[in-house]
Amino acid sequence: MTDERTAPATALMLGFAERTGLSGGLPPRRYLWTDAFAVCNFLALERATGDARYRELALRLVDQVHHTLGRHRADDARQGWISGLGEHEGETHPTRGGLRIGKELPERAPGEACDEELEWERDGQYFHYLTRWMHALDQLSRATGDARFNRWARELAASAHGAFIAPPSARGPHRMYWKMSIDLARVLVPSMGQHDALDGYITVLQLCATARRLPQPAGGPDLREALRDFGAIAARGDWASADPLGIGGLLADAGRVAELTQERAVDDEGLLERLLAAARAGLDCYAGSGQLRDSAQHRLAFRELGLAIGLHAVTLIAREHAPARPAARAEVDALLRHVPLGDDIESFWCNTAHRAGDTWRAHRDINEVMLATRLLPGGFLRLPPPPGQRIRASSARDRS
């Protein structure tokens, strides 16, 4: 990775750290989705520069997230860990009760009518934010060899499985909820996220694979039931989406599945092929929509950058994890034609003039962190072997 990419990614991440209270003197301001990408970015910066302070920032960020989003809000009558654990046990198991989103407004009170527009600004727990944090913790375990982070991710997976999956009913089999209350006791939004079960299935596969490969026992809960339930729900879903963030998520998941397949952690030979086909169907639609011709004021950068990050995964799959099945290789070849779209998105948002408007500033933290991920995607997209395991042939390649 050249300094042309490392330097702007560094500036973006150091600015984020200071602005959100990770460094400097400001009070911490934590948001789970953004912070999950940020942990991965700091690990990527450490690999790109050899500077250990970036690992320290990743570790400090994990600690802040757990002590902020793992505890009740300052404006809540409830105090302490949202899991209900005592102080000492909560320190040992900070993810056992899940983690708050970090929204500005408190969650909807019991019995309060739902305002669909306002609900987007209210706190609670999102499953797809929790899986992002599981991935970040697991990447930290793989980078450091410290089984504690994998155990915390596995405990978070177990809590999320218990809370977000609705019991089967006369109307049909298991399904999932979109949003739960801070204490995971109430359903706030009962609809199901399109890719939640799929992301849960792949993330649990990853956590289990890491636990088996760490140089020390990881411990934690048995996730076989979670893997079965997430897999069964995902198998019934239609994964194709024309939303750029959703497409990017499918491609990032495909990258993880390709690496996990090489680690012999995936039994479903057709999973990668189905992920790639769903992403291609959505991408063909999105690429022809003309949305990327809109002005910056009418575009949401973090959603586009999610797609641009995912398109990096296509290149990695083609270069390093070529599928054995011909149908999957054909899907990769078809997706490679869209890779320049990621370069176009990156170039557009690297232009500081396009980052001057209200739309960018309204989502500045998430936009800047995900732009940094696009510039240095290795911390998020790659699954590095734990210390003492197989080392990749080229450190420079790890930075891509």
Residue range 76-128, pLDDT digits in tens: 999 999 999 999 999 999 999 999 999 999 999 999 999 999 999 999 999 99
- Which residue type, as a one-letter code, is found at position 392? R
Report the pLDDT value the prediction gives residue 266, as an integer from 0 to 100: 94
Neighbours of 43 (CB within 10 A): 26
Q: Is the pLDDT of residue 170 over 80?
A: no
Give the residue from 234, 303, 347, 292 showing the smallest Cα distance to 33: 303
pLDDT in tens, 26-83: 999 999 999 999 999 999 999 999 999 999 999 999 999 999 999 999 999 999 999 9
Residue 174's SS3 state is coil
Specify which residues 187 forms β-bridges with: 180
Using the Cα atoms of residue 197, residue 203, residue 209 and residue 212 in order, give the sign of their dihedral.
negative
Report the pLDDT value the prediction gives residue 172, as an integer from 0 to 100: 61
Q: Is the pLDDT of residue 399 over 50?
A: no
Give the residue from 302, 322, 311, 304 showing the smallest Cα distance to 280: 311
Report the pLDDT value the prediction gives residue 322, as an integer from 0 to 100: 86
250 is written with which tokens? Answer: 């499918």
CA distance 262 to 260: 5
Query: E-assigned strands of 268-394?
Result: none
214 is written with which tokens? Answer: 């760490």
Residue 122's SS3 state is strand
Buried b (16+ CB within 10 A) or exposed e, 323-357: beeeebbebbebbeebeebbeebbebbeeeebbee
pLDDT in tens, 305-341: 999 999 999 999 999 998 889 999 999 999 999 999 9
Which helix (H) or strand (E) is 188 found in, with range? strand 187-189
CA distance 175 to 187: 13
Mean pLDDT on 194-207 = 97
Residues 99 and 70 sit within 8 Å (Cβ to Cβ): yes
Give the residue from 339, 248, 360, 389 showing the smallest Cα distance to 297: 360
Which helix (H) or strand (E) is 31 found in, with range? none
Q: What count of Cα atoms within 13 Å lies in the side-chain half-sphere of residue 109?
A: 5
